[in-house]
Structure 1
Amino acid sequence: MLKRKALASLKRMTVAFNAVEDDGRTSSVLLSLQHSFEMLLKAALVHNNVPVFDKKLGRSIGFEKCLELSRQQPNIKLTDAEAGTLRAIDALRDDEQHWFNSVSEPILFIHARAGVTLFDDLLNRVFRERLADSLPLRVLPISTEPPMGLDILIDQEFSQIQDLLQPGRRARNEARARIRTLLAIEGHASEESLVSEKDVDRVEKGIAQGKSRNAVFPALEQISTAFSGEGPTLTVRFDQKGPPVKFADRDSDAAAIREIDLQKKFHRSATDLAEKLNLSLPRSLALRQHLGIDDDPKCFYIFEMGSQKHPRFSDNALKLMRESMKALDMDKVWASHKPIGRGKSPRECPIEGCAQSTKN
């Protein structure tokens, strides 16, 4: 049933894309495309015996939770680049539905074709089916213009934004609408794809000050596109390249600093980590100490509320611990990191790569 709904939503997307252009076309394409992936991910999770119903909320899980669980499931194997494509589509859909943004025809097409490519990849990977078995090639999104790489499209958009922000143009609203689209596309490289007004303000200010595209949109430098085939058989895949984006403090010389919702990023408790890994709390702590999880700012954060401190962990911590358990002997980890009595000297972990041994 979920898979049929996913295919039905994808069909609606192709109909909307190939329809005569109107004000609701972009919204219909992005809404149907995002919904088709939510249904497909849920179908894949159910196929792998992963529940998609939240008993606490009394309703099915949302798109972000589907994405998180799909990245964790070895039988789905959603890669970082694929997750980035889905985050960007979701962010574009959110901005199109709830804000005023401007998605150009080439950017819409390249994401629609990338969505079709990824849909076919996931359908084949999980269900051993091809999209062509359910959807004729002739109805897929086709452009009369040759597809351009994302870097070229971004350069074109950035130049237009610069022009729109020139003194006397009185086109600030249109410029901000295009800024929103480029910020949403950063979802390809950033786990935080929600676009806020503060993000748009910072980018606008940076462009007005004459800063370069690389300075204003650093995350976009990590994204590349790969094309193969042509016409109805064209495939588009996004990939990540270059050095990772660095977190900067407020005093850093950056035109656009993305404010990350820390409570959203670091949302796991120590108990939650242990339960997800099927470990006891003491053994989970031993593994954290061995890997240096509590010393990694990408994995660990302490929320301070008055005199109270609440340690929390990110999905990076869960992923790192889960992957390490495939190669580590947990009995040896426990023996090297279990609690010691008072007055006793700390143990030395004989396992290569121990974070505590390196620290000491």
Structure 2
Amino acid sequence: MKKEARLLKGKAVASLLLSIDHFNRLSDVGRVESVLILMDHSFEMLLKAAILNAGGRIREPREVNTIGFDACVRRGLSAEGFLSDDQALVLQTLNGLRDAAQHHLLELSEGQLYLHAQSGVTLFRDLLWDVFGENLATLLPERALPISTVAPIDPISMFAEEIEEVRRLLAPGRRRHAEATAKLRGLAIVNGALEGEFIQPSERQLSQLGQKLMLGSSFDDLFPGISAVSFNAVGVGADVSLRITKNEGIPVHLVPEGTPAGGVIAVRRVDELGFYNLSHGDLARKLKLTPNKTTAAIAVLGLKDDLDCSKAFKIGRTVFQRYSQKAIERIQVLIDTRGVEDFWAQYRALQPSHRRG
């Protein structure tokens, strides 16, 4: 391992240990902020160590400073390939909460703080083993608990209880808006981070969430990002693990780099047939291409393997390939940059009958 990577990994472990220490300490003074800030720092150091270990770079050419947290996650997802979409969602959520804790106001219930801290420790343990082949348990002091020996509550039940508490706080005769807003803020930040948005919710937005809740809106309607993931706890005692994963069938989209207040990826709960709303014929008509040349563009771009652009649906014994609006954008760029005849010739050259002739 390169010396710089080894030093960064050491910094990562040190910050994680401090985060665990602050979680388990008796004093509540600055506890939430300390846990989140130190854990966020531990992951930035670990990601940079992993990038260097994979032969990547953590500095852009002619830049003095190293890349930031988002850029590390992007490289871990793409260039270096050591992160999964689910792991990136956990990192993005932690980073969004850290941002709010460091730059504004954030109040989390004990259940929420446990949820994010335990999922963070689980992810750190997974990455340390997968990338470096090291067991986190060997780096912890014998007296240290890796956040908590027992999960305080099932995550889904915790969220349901928090929403019911907000309803009680906003009920006629109580109207404790400040407390209700504080509870909604943490949920809104997590939901935004999962949807690829790092936007601090305004007082007006939080008030609107409360109004919708009192009018009968469900948790799924108010927080679709949270509803699109699952919280899976396994193990007992010091071996407890908590992982956040996207629900089956729900796509994750890469947020374009440079998007204002944008994260790295976004999970969206969508009607899949509404998302993939184009047939092959629809695609050809909108692009003003023949069916054969549309097929050629799809093949050259590999759109059938890109879930942002296409998905196969089986109805009975028949399989239908459907396409999203993103497919139109991708093919149009291909037409504009290469021209129809160019990619048509490439496609024909790859066909067996054409090669034989």
TM-score, structure 2 normalization: 0.68
CA distance in 1 between counterparts of 2:346 and 2:159 reads 52
C-alpha displacement of 1:351:
9.3
Count of matched residue positions in the alignment of Structure 1 and Structure 2: 284
C-alpha displacement of 1:64:
1.0
CA distance in 1 between counterparts of 2:213 and 2:27 reads 31
Identify the residue that residue 65 of structure 1 maps to in structure 2. 71
Identify the residue that residue 307 of structure 1 maps to in structure 2. none
Q: Does 1:94 align with 2:99?
A: yes
After superposition, the C-alpha distances for 1:73-128 in whole angstroms (9 at most, x for unaligned) are: 4551x111111111111112122222323211121112211111111110111111
C-alpha displacement of 1:153:
1.1
Aligned residue among 122, 131, 141 for 1:126: 131
Q: What do you get for the CA RMSD once the two structures are aligned? A: 3.8
SS of residue paired to 2:181 = helix
Q: Write out aligned runs for 1:340-351 (5 A).
A: 349-350=347-348
Q: Does 1:223 align with 2:204?
A: no
Unmatched 5+ residue regions in structure 1? 248-260, 268-285, 300-315, 322-333, 353-360
Structure 1 pair 265–22 and aligned structure 2 pair: CA distance change class (3 A):
closer
Identify the residue that residue 238 of structure 1 maps to in structure 2. 244
Structure 1 pair 264–89 and aligned structure 2 pair: CA distance change class (3 A):
closer
1:339 maps to amino acid: G
CA distance in 1 between counterparts of 2:15 and 2:133 reads 20
Q: Does 1:291 align with 2:297?
A: no
Identify the residue that residue 195 of structure 1 maps to in structure 2. 200
Q: Is the 8 A contact 2:37 2:98 kept in 1?
A: yes
TM-score, structure 1 normalization: 0.67
CA distance in 2 between counterparts of 1:25 and 1:109 reads 12
Identify the residue that residue 90 of structure 2 maps to in structure 1. 85
CA distance in 2 between counterparts of 1:178 and 1:351 reads 61
After superposition, the C-alpha distances for 1:259-311 in whole angstroms (9 at most, x for unaligned) are: xx9556699xxxxxxxxxxxxxxxxxx98994398xx9x68xxxxxxxxxxxx
1:7 maps to amino acid: V
Percentage identity across aligned positions?
Answer: 33
Identify the residue that residue 160 of structure 1 maps to in structure 2. 165
SS of residue paired to 2:28 = coil
C-alpha displacement of 1:204:
2.7
Structure 1 pair 340–17 and aligned structure 2 pair: CA distance change class (3 A):
closer
Q: Is the 8 A contact 1:41 1:66 kept in 2?
A: yes
Q: Is the 8 A contact 2:196 2:263 kept in 1?
A: no
2:140 maps to amino acid: L
